Amino acid sequence: MNINLDVEMIEQDNMTTLVLSGEIDAYTAPVLKEALLPLTKQPNTEVIVDLEKVNYMDSTGLGVFISALKSSKEHSTSLKLIQLQDRVHRLFKITSLDSIITIDTTVRGGN
């Protein structure tokens, strides 16, 4: 089983997009945290996380997004998740984190 997470960063003006592909779990979550947290601390940055190619995420991943949200509030930056696959989106819905984290549901990731 190949459990891995690739993180690609695309910067454009004040907007930084993290394109993730793979799985987010206890083993790969630190990779995400390392890439995401510093971005939320850069003044005037809009951080977008593209989850189209993430087919599995467990609650450790949610933990990273919660700490990213807290950090972005603290530093007055913004955080948005896009292109979530159903399985991943379900986690945000069950935990009601979709009520505090901005999730763009107009574009849905493929399964």
Partner 1 sequence: MESVKLDLENYRKLLKEYLLTNDETALYQAEQFSKLSVQHNISPEEIIHVHIEALKELYPELPREVSDSLNFLLEAMISYGLALQEYQFLRAKQSELESEISVAANMQKTLLSTVKPDIKGLDIGAISVPANSMNGDYYHFVADKEGTLGIALADVIGKGIPAALAMSMIKYSMDSFPENQRQPSMILENLNRVVERNVDPSMFITMFYGLYNPESETFSYASAGHEPGFYYHASKDKFEEIEARGLVLGATEHTTYQQFVNHIKKDDCIILLTDGVTECRVGDRFIERDEVLQVIKDYIHLPAQEAVDSVYKYFERLQDFHLRDDFTLIIIRKKV
Q: Which residue in the set 66, 78, 80, 108 belongs to the binding site for partner 1 (CB under 8 A)?
A: 66
CB 82 within 8 A of CB 50: yes
- Torsion angle, CA of 63/79/109/20, rounded to 10 degrees? -70
CB of 105 to partner 1, least distance (A): 16
Q: Is residue 10 near partner 1 by the rule CB under 8 A?
A: no
**Please, which residue, 71 or 83, has the CB nearer to partner 1?**
71
- Torsion angle, CA of 18/21/25/27, rounded to 10 degrees? -90
The site for partner 1 (CB under 8 A) is made up of: 1, 25-26, 33, 56, 58-60, 62-64, 66-67, 69-71, 87, 94-97, 99-100
